[in-house]
């Protein structure tokens, strides 16, 4: 990006040299720095030949018919200044007023009640405050749009209604770039009477002159770069339109906010060194921006090639300027950085020879409502740096010390590296004892205890069996399902190297990505905290992840891991923001047989959803309950704490949020999931689930808990035959299209089966033998309908043959086509008979194990570390190395678990 502004032609001075323009001896046009240093108004020569413009410190002027009579209306010192400002701005008219906001106030006085204004969504706080006042008290309508996208103006740009468009580029403080030339062209075509106004304070006329791109009015806070020393308040307005200039001059004279003679002198003196100051400040700013970017911080600065507006800004301006901002991921860390600097003065404003540092959300932009700041994407942890003319090495050294003291960076093998913003550097103890700031109350109303620790999380979710309603549930039939005591587990740990990794030992997959190399350009909409994902997946993102992020499979090797990887990356990228993309390791394992129809994918989906929501700080862990307190003199009543062993510790709001995102993962994995599998994995227990939008049961859909399963035993039998759930579900859908009468009749019968089973389990008066007999008959009936739908398999029928020979009843569970079968075990069966049955099934090549159903749902290893658990840290190596049969006990031994 060139930092040499275009050459401007100096004004002609009649009789100055006697040379004719165009002759061989004509002087070349002056460069910008020469124009700045040369203050010469040929129409106002000083009578004494003063080399510095005098200060005409007077309120009135004697005589009649002279050029000046009253300083409010005009003053020679101010006239010299305005002539000079017009010259360096390549403008016909210039006006100097008492401040930058006074300049904007003058401009907005051109508006009347009923006018509409279009403004950006990233504005200086004072600008936002004035626009809010006009909207509330002057009958002016204000539309805030994303000016980085010229088309965002089109819906609100109306000929005859839009009176003014107010632009900033770069914006303050996020340094967004607006394509001024394109926007001005669009406005001329769609609303030609609208006045286009540009706040050019961030650039100054040295780097950008918006009048050259089509603007009608340009204003600067002269307090900033034009003055350069923060020893005066001033505002500047320039324009080329005579009609607008006439109105501006009238308003300034009428309200009396023209710049004073002394401040005019100071501002004129400051502009003489504008070019040399800006060149030094910009050069240093580029070094500071690259330093922070190389450390891994997200830096907002149009001088960096990865800035989204880099190319546009390069066409509009001759340099990126000397203001930049960056985020740390932690508001308290940002406060510590700001407080630890010494050369960087903590102050609002910018443009002076001294470097300044600030946090806009608590300083210059504090007047903007926090909700509005959040809606406009202004991070609370944002730090703004306004670079001065100090030695760049000193500024970077001072910033580096502050970053180290605040814990934002640390020494690594390759030098200084950024710490993971998920963690608070003041923490100490084991990996389960890394304290963080109080989590934001994003989900539900549960209070987060100040001692809650952001941990190397460990979570788990149960598998499931569907006893009644497989496949039919996709079409609105009620399914009866229950959690099993086999689980998927996932752990996470933070990284500080800008990378993200996923390890799936069960699927022979382990890969690491550079976070910034993921296909972020394919993310059309990031889902804000607390907001639901749209009903449909973002196909472009799925395709981009598949093509650009999933490792290519070696020829001849299975790629069973692909859907699981895509689901993980899809959620990670969808809930990440531009300002917060945590770096972490995630490992997931299952004690469930993968691909057997026992909900291993839903269990995995629930685990990764929980891990990612926790690491993105979108979930609240409830505070510890009040412990048992013995009565005392100060508390004669005391308190009794009843232990529930972690059951029901996680709130419904917590579970609901996880379930929503688990369903998103299931959509990636299966296309059109019913939602029952992930619901069981998250909520646990047993439930009757109905997909909304169908007429077989309740059209609104929903879930109803069912009690009674804990007293019923089952044998799960894994055929070890792989199946494709998507194909099986699609096959039933196709059969419904081809034979609607047959399939709809089956669906109605399966609905009746689910209703009967639910009533039987809920009926406390139904005898035990009657209950088991009813379940046996319903199992046989349901399986027969599934055979008609074409989703059984010879292996499943073999299991039914082996069990039927012993008077037992079995049916497929899940999608069918292989997978698992569930066998109802009567109370009378003894250990010997059960062992013989298992051996018979094993002999046929199957795996069999008994299980109870209806247990707990989603679990999280408590972040509240007890003294007895301090040595039980989560070690990824141990987690991966543990045999599957020992995994559940190892997880239990890690500490106290919290469940839904």
Report the catalytic residues.
72, 124, 199, 224
Angle between helices 676-683 and 652-670 (to 10 degrees): 150
Taking CA atoms, 581 is separated from 16, 309, 550, 615, in Å, by 63, 21, 19, 10
Q: With beta carbons less than 8 A apart as the criterion, state whether 203 and 168 touch.
A: no
Question: What are the backbone angles phi and psi of residue 216, rounded to the nearest 5°?
Answer: -90, -40
Residue among 560, 561, 567, 606 nearest 462 (CA): 606
Residue among 216, 105, 123, 237 nearest 163 (CA): 216
> Is 612 strand, coil or helix?
helix
> Is 578 strand, coil or helix?
coil
**Cα-based angle 393, 225, 180 (whole degrees, multiple of 5):** 110
Q: How many CB atoms lie within 10 A of CB 109?
A: 17
Contacts (Cβ under 8 Å, ≥6 apart) of 795? 719, 721, 818, 846
Q: Which residue in the block uniquely carries the two structure tokens 């010879």?
A: 794
As a dihedral over the C-alpha atoms of residue 354, residue 359, residue 365, residue 371, rounded to 10 degrees, the angle is 170
Q: Which residue in the block uniquely carries the two structure tokens 């632009």?
A: 167
> Is 397 strand, coil or helix?
helix
Element (H, E) at 623: none
DSSP 8-state code for residue 238: E
Q: With beta carbons less than 8 A apart as the criterion, state whether 828 and 769 touch.
A: no
For the record, the structure tokens of 605 come out as: 């989906």
Element (H, E) at 755: helix 740-762
Q: With beta carbons less than 8 A apart as the criterion, state whether 464 and 482 touch.
A: yes
Q: Assess whether the previous peptide bond of 173 is cis (omega < 30° from 0).
A: yes
Rounded to whole angstroms, the Cα distance separating 283 from 139 reads: 45
Rounded to whole angstroms, the Cα distance separating 505 from 48 reads: 89
Rounded to whole angstroms, the Cα distance separating 684 from 483 reads: 5
Is 66 buried (19+), middle (13-18) or exposed (0-12) by CB count in 10 A? Answer: exposed
Q: Assess whether the previous peptide bond of 628 is cis (omega < 30° from 0).
A: no
Q: How many CB atoms lie within 10 A of CB 231?
A: 12
Rounded to whole angstroms, the Cα distance separating 347 from 356 reads: 6
Q: What is the largest CA-CA distance in the chain?
A: 124
Half-sphere exposure of 423 toward its Cβ, with a 13 Å CA cutoff?
Answer: 25
Is 209 buried (19+), middle (13-18) or exposed (0-12) by CB count in 10 A? Answer: buried
Is 365 buried (19+), middle (13-18) or exposed (0-12) by CB count in 10 A? Answer: buried
> Is 435 strand, coil or helix?
strand
């Amino acid at each position: 990006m060139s930092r040499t502004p275009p050459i401007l032609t100096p004004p002609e001075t009649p009789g100055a040299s006697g040379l004719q323009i165009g002759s061989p001896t004509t002087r070349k046009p002056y460069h910008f720095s020469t124009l700045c240093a040369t203050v010469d108004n040929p129409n106002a020569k000083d009578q004494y030949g003063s080399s510095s413009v005098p200060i005409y410190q007077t309120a009135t002027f004697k005589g009649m018919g002279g050029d000046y009579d009253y300083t409010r209306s005009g003053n020679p010192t101010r006239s010299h200044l305005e002539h000079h400002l017009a010259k360096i701005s390549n403008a016909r008219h210039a006006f100097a007023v008492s401040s930058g906001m006074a300049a904007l106030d003058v401009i907005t006085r051109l508006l009347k009640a009923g006018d509409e204004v279009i403004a950006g969504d990233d504005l200086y706080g004072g600008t936002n405050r004035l626009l809010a006042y006009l909207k509330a008290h002057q009958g002016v309508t204000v539309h805030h749009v994303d000016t980085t996208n010229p088309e965002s103006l089109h819906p609100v740009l109306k000929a005859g209604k839009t009176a003014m468009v107010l632009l900033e580029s770069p914006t303050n403080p996020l340094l967004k770039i607006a394509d001024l030339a394109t926007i001005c062209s669009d406005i001329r075509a769609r609303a030609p009477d609208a006045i286009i106004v540009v706040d050019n304070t961030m650039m100054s006329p040295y780097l950008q002159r918006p009048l050259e791109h089509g603007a009608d009015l340009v204003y600067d806070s002269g307090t900033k770069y034009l003055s350069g020393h923060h020893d005066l308040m001033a505002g500047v307005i320039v324009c080329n339109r005579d009609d607008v200039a006439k109105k501006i001059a009238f308003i300034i004279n009428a309200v009396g906010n023209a710049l004073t003679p002394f401040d005019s002198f100071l501002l004129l003196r400051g502009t003489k060194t504008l070019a040399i100051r800006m060149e030094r400040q910009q050069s240093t700013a580029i070094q500071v921006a690259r330093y922070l970017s190389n450390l891994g911080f997200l830096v907002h600065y149009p001088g960096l090639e990865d800035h989204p507006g880099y190319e546009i800004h390069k066409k509009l301006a001759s340099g990126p300027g000397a203001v930049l901002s960056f985020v740390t991921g932690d508001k308290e860390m940002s406060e510590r950085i700001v407080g630890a600097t010494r050369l960087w003065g903590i102050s609002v404003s910018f443009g002076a020879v001294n470097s300044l540092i600030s946090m806009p959300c608590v300083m210059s932009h504090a007047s903007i409502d926090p909700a509005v700041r959040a809606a406009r994407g202004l991070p609370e942890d944002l730090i703004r740096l306004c670079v001065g003319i100090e030695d760049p090495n000193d500024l970077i050294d001072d910033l580096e010390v502050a970053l180290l003291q605040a814990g934002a960076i640390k020494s690594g093998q390759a030098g200084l590296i950024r710490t993971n913003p998920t963690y608070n550097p003041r923490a100490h103890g084991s990996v389960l004892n890394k304290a963080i700031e109080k989590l934001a109350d994003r989900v539900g109303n549960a209070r987060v205890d100040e001692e809650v620790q952001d941990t190397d999380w460990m979570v788990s979710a149960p598998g499931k069996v569907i006893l009644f309603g497989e496949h039919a549930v996709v079409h609105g039939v009620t399914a009866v399902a229950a959690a099993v005591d086999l689980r998927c587990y996932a752990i996470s740990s933070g990284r500080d190297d800008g990378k993200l990794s996923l390890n799936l030992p069960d699927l022979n997959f382990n890969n690491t990505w550079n976070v910034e190399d993921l296909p972020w350009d394919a993310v059309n909409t990031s889902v804000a905290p607390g907001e639901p994902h749209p009903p449909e997946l973002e196909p472009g993102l799925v395709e981009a992840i598949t093509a650009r992020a999933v490792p290519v499979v070696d020829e001849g090797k299975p790629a069973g891991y692909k859907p699981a990887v895509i689901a993980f990356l899809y959620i990670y990228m969808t809930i990440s923001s531009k300002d917060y993309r945590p770096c972490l390791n995630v490992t997931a394992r299952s004690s469930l047989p993968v691909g057997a129809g026992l909900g291993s994918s839903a269990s995995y989906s629930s685990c990764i959803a929980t891990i990612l929501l926790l690491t993105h700080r979108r979930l609240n862990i409830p505070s510890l309950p009040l412990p048992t307190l013995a009565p005392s003199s100060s508390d004669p009543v005391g308190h009794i704490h009843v232990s529930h062993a972690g059951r029901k510790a996680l709130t419904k709001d917590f579970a609901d949020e996880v379930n929503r995102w688990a369903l998103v993962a299931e959509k990636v994995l299966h296309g059109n999931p019913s939602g029952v599998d992930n619901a069981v994995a998250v909520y646990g227990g047993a439930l009757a689930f109905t997909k909304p939008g169908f007429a077989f049961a309740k059209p609104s859909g929903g879930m109803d808990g069912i009690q009674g399963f804990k007293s019923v035993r089952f044998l799960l039998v894994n055929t070890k035959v792989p199946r494709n759930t998507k194909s099986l579900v699609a096959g039933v859908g196709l059969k419904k299209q081809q034979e609607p009468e047959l399939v709809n009749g089956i669906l109605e019968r399966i609905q009746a089966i689910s209703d009967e089973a639910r009533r039987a389990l809920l009926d406390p008066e139904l005898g035990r033998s009657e209950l088991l007999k009813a379940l046996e008959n319903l199992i046989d009936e349901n399986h027969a309908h599934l055979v008609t739908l074409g989703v059984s398999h010879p292996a499943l029928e073999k299991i039914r043959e082996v069990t039927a020979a012993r008077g037992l009843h079995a049916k497929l569970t899940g999608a069918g086509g292989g997978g698992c079968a569930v066998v109802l075990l009567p109370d009378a069966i003894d250990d010997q008979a059960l062992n013989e049955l298992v051996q018979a099934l094993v002999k046929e090549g199957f795996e069999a194990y008994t299980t109870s159903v209806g247990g707990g749902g989603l679990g999280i290893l408590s972040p509240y570390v007890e003294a007895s658990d301090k040595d039980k840290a989560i070690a990824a190596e141990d987690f991966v190395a543990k045999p599957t049969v020992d995994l559940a006990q190892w997880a239990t031994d890690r500490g106290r678990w919290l469940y839904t």
